[in-house]
């Protein structure tokens, strides 16, 4: 069964600090992996997307990495800001032969404190 | 900008009531999706649609139905709401022309008493 596991479930950090969120997936065959940011009371918004051939991708202070061999991804946030407080969701997409279906992780809830 | 709107942000209904959740997208996307989001469970796909009047069951369709009479509108229907359908409901759309990213609406938080 395709699964996406995220850790930690929740995290509290001080403003200005860095943090790393983890995502392990078992989706196979694999097409791509996307990280979403979901602010409280809002729908998820895409941060990055990576295919199996990409190791790292940045979007401002957000840097995602992907290891297709170990089926692991991480999202690193640099110099955190209060506005980074949100849930971060890892989503893996199966290939066309697997129906292009998405498998969502349970999310990591990040709180940045002043 | 892609815009996906949902008819209500918050909704409170009673057990047994029929509930309609409306979703509209303005990007001429072929694909539309309904998810529910519960703490610790992530997003789970209820139904999706690849075209007008076309629908496919997702992972948890029981207790729900959908309607897609127009390309821009995808409705989720709870025929007889139950307390275990209390949840956050998210609508999403995606282009069918090689599109990859799903664009989400703001969500409807439904409480069934």
pLDDT in tens, B30-40: 999 999 999 87
**Is A87's pLDDT higher than 60?**
yes
CB contact (8 A) between residue B92 and residue A43: yes
Picking from A34, A45, A106, the nearest residue to B42 by CB comes out as A106
Q: How far apart are CA A111 and CA B8, in angstroms?
A: 27
pLDDT of residue B95: 85
pLDDT in tens, A21-40: 999 999 877 788 999 999 99
Query: Which residues have CB under 8 Å from B11's CB, separation 6+?
Result: B19, B21, B108, B109, B110, B111
Interface residue B92 vs chain A (CB under 8 A): yes
Our measurement of the distance from residue B38's CA atom to the centroid of its chain's CA atoms, rounded to an integer in Å, reads 14
pLDDT in tens, A4-22: 999 999 999 999 999 999 9
- Mean pLDDT, chain A, as a whole number? 92
Task: Report how many Cβ contacts below 8 Å link chain A to chain B.
Answer: 38
**Is B99's pLDDT higher than 80?**
no
With contact defined as beta carbons under 8 Å apart, do B93 and B103 qualify? yes
CB burial of B91-104 (b: ≥16 within 10 Å; e: otherwise) equals bbbbbeeeeeebbb
pLDDT above 90: percentage of residues in chain A: 74
Interface residue A64 vs chain B (CB under 8 A): no
Rounded to an integer, the average pLDDT of B55-82 is 96
The residue ranking higher by pLDDT, A53 or B106, is: B106
Query: Which residues have CB under 8 Å from A70's CB, separation 6+?
Result: none
pLDDT of residue A3: 87
Q: Kind of pairing, strands B87-94 and B103-104?
A: antiparallel
Interface residue A9 vs chain B (CB under 8 A): yes
Interface residue B98 vs chain A (CB under 8 A): no
Interface residue A61 vs chain B (CB under 8 A): no
**Is B45's pLDDT higher than 90?**
yes
């Amino acid at each position: 069964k395709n699964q996406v596991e995220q850790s930690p479930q929740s995290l509290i950090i001080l403003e200005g600090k860095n943090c790393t969120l983890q995502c392990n997936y078992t989706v196979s065959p694999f097409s791509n992996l996307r990280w979403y940011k979901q602010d409280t009371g809002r729908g998820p918004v895409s941060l990055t997307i990576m295919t199996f051939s990409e190791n790292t991708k940045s979007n401002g202070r957000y840097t995602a990495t992907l290891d297709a061999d170990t089926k692991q991804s991480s999202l690193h946030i640099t110099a955190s800001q209060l506005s980074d407080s949100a849930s971060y969701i890892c989503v893996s997409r199966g290939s066309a032969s697997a129906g292009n279906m998405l498998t969502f992780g349970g999310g990591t809830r990040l709180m940045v404190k002043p | 900008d892609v815009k996906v709107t949902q008819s209500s942000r918050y909704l409170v209904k009673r057990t047994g009531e029929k509930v309609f959740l409306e979703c509209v997208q303005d990007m001429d996307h072929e694909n539309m999706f309904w998810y529910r989001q519960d703490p610790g469970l992530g997003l789970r796909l209820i139904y999706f649609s690849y075209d007008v009047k076309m629908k496919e069951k997702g992972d948890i369709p029981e207790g729900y139905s959908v309607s897609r009479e127009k390309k821009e509108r995808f409705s989720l229907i709870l025929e007889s709401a139950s307390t275990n359908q209390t949840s956050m409901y998210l609508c999403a759309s995606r282009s069918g022309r090689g599109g990859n990213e799903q664009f989400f609406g703001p969500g409807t938080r439904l409480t069934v008493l």
